[in-house]
Chain A
Amino acid sequence: MPTYTDMTKCDGCGECVDICPSNIMHIDPVYRRSYNIEPNFCWECYSCVKACPQNAIDVRGYADFAPLGHKVRVLREPEKGVISWKIRYRDGRLKEFVFPIRTTPWGSIKSPSDYELPDLSALTSQMLSHEPTALHVPALPTINMAKA
C-alpha cells in the first residue's frame, strides 16, 4: 500500500522528502506540504511514515483492488524507540501493533564522517567498518585464511 500525506497534519518540515529512497515525496507548490507524487512507484518501505514527526503520513491500498474504508495509522514515539500501527479493517475490526525499532536514542547514531579515517591495513581486515566496537561486542569470529 503506498503512502499519502494528510495535508491538514503536515507542517512541511521536509523529513519525508529527505528520507524517501524512491524520491517520490515532494513538496506541493501551492500549499507547501508534502505529497506522494507517484504512488505507483512507491516501494512501500514506509520510511516517510516512520520519519514524519507529525504522524501526517498514512498508507492506503490502490483504489482498484482495495476499495476505501480501511485505514492504517502510525504513531511514532522516538523517545521510546517505538513505532505503533493501528489497522482498521473494512469490516470494522481494529488491530494494534507495537514495533520496537531501536535501543539507542533517536539521532545518536554517528554518521561515517564522524569517525576517524581507517588506515590502509583495514582493507585486508575481515571486519566491516567500526566492527566490533559499533556492535557492542568484544570480538567477532574470523576465518583463518591460512587454513581456508
Chain B
Amino acid sequence: MFTNNPFAALTGFLPPLVMQVYIVLMTLAVVGGTLFDAYHKGSAKFFALHRMKKSAAAQRRLSGGETFSLALETVAEAVMSSEFCKWPRRISHLLMMYGFFLYLITTVAMISAYPAGTPTPTILPMLWTVGALMILVGGLWFFFFLRVNVAFDGASPFHLGRADLFVGSLILSVAFALLWHGVQTTYGNITAAWILFGLYIFFTTLLFVSVPWSKFAHMFFKPAVAFQRRIEEANGSSDLPSPSTENYIVRS
C-alpha cells in the first residue's frame, strides 16, 4: 500500500493531463482566492497604509544587511513555528505544516513526473503517506483538544464553524486520500474506491477553492506581518514600550 503511486491506477479513467490541469486550477484558485481575500477585506490596503505610516515614523533607516537579517529571522520563526507560545500547538502546527508540504510536493511529483506507465520511485508514495499521516495526527490533535474555543471557551470538541473550514477540509481531504489509497490497493473494491475518491476530490477542491472564506491564506499573510513587526521594532517605529533594562526576578 505504501509503495504504490495512488494516482497511477486512475490513469485508465483520468488521463494524466486532466490531473495536471486540476493541479493548475487549484493553484490558480489559491492565488485568486488570496488576492480576492486581500482585496475584499481591505487587508492589503490596511497593511500598505500601516507600512507607510510606520516608515514615516521610523527613527532610523535600516541598512540592506539589517533588513536581510530580519528577513532571515522571520523565516527562521516561520520554519520553527516559534510564534506559538505553547508547545502542544507548536508541535501540532509543525506536524500539519510539514505534513502538508510533504503531501503536496509528492502529490504534484507523482502526477506530473510519473504519469501512467512510468515506474514511480517507492520513496514518493511512502513520503506521501507519511505527510498525510502527519497532517492527520497534528490536525486531529488540534481539532479535538487544542482548538481554543474547545480548550478555553467551552465549545464541544465536535463543534463546527467557519473557522474550521481550513483545518476540517484539510483533515477530511487527507483522511479520504488515505482511505481511497488503502481500499484500491488492499481490498480492490472498485465501487468503494470510487466513492472514496469522489469524497477525496470533493474535500480537496473545497480546501483550495474556499481560500477567501477560510484561513488558508494565513501562510502568506502571517510571515509578511511578522516581518513588518520586526522592521518596526528595529527602526524604532513600534508602538510597544522599550524592553526593561532591569530584571526583577530575584528568587527562584
**A residues near B, CB below 8 A?**
8-9, 11-15, 17-18, 26-32, 34, 53-55, 71, 73-75, 77, 79-82, 84-86, 88, 96-98, 100-105, 108, 136
Contacts and interface: CB of A to CB of B under 8 A. Distances in A.
B118 interface: no
A54 B149 CA distance: 18
A-B pairs, 3 with minimum CB distance = A14-B152, A84-B241, A86-B241
A88 B225 contact: no
Nearest to B149: A27
Contacts of B243: 75, 77, 80, 84
A17 B249 contact: no
A8 B43 CA distance: 10
Nearest to A19: B152
A29 B163 contact: yes
B17 interface: no
B191 interface: no
Contacts of B153: 14, 17, 26-27
B219 interface: no
The secondary structure that dominates the A interface is: loop
A129 B203 CA distance: 57
Given A27-B149, A82-B248, A13 B86 contact: yes
The secondary structure that dominates the B interface is: loop
A12 B147 CA distance: 9
Contact of B249 (A30, A73, A79, A88): A79
Contacts of A104: 249, 251-252
16 contacts: A13-B84, A13-B85, A13-B89, A14-B152, A17-B153, A29-B163, A32-B148, A73-B239, A75-B242, A77-B244, A81-B247, A84-B241, A86-B240, A98-B241, A100-B248, A103-B249
A84 B244 contact: yes
B151 interface: yes
Given A13-B89, A53-B85, A18 B162 contact: no
Given A103-B248, A104-B252, A29 B149 contact: yes
Contacts of A102: 248-249
A49 B67 CA distance: 30
Contacts of B151: 14
Contacts of B12: none
Contacts of B239: 71, 73, 86, 88
A79 B244 CA distance: 11
A2 B162 CA distance: 28
B163 A103 contact: no
B240 A32 contact: no
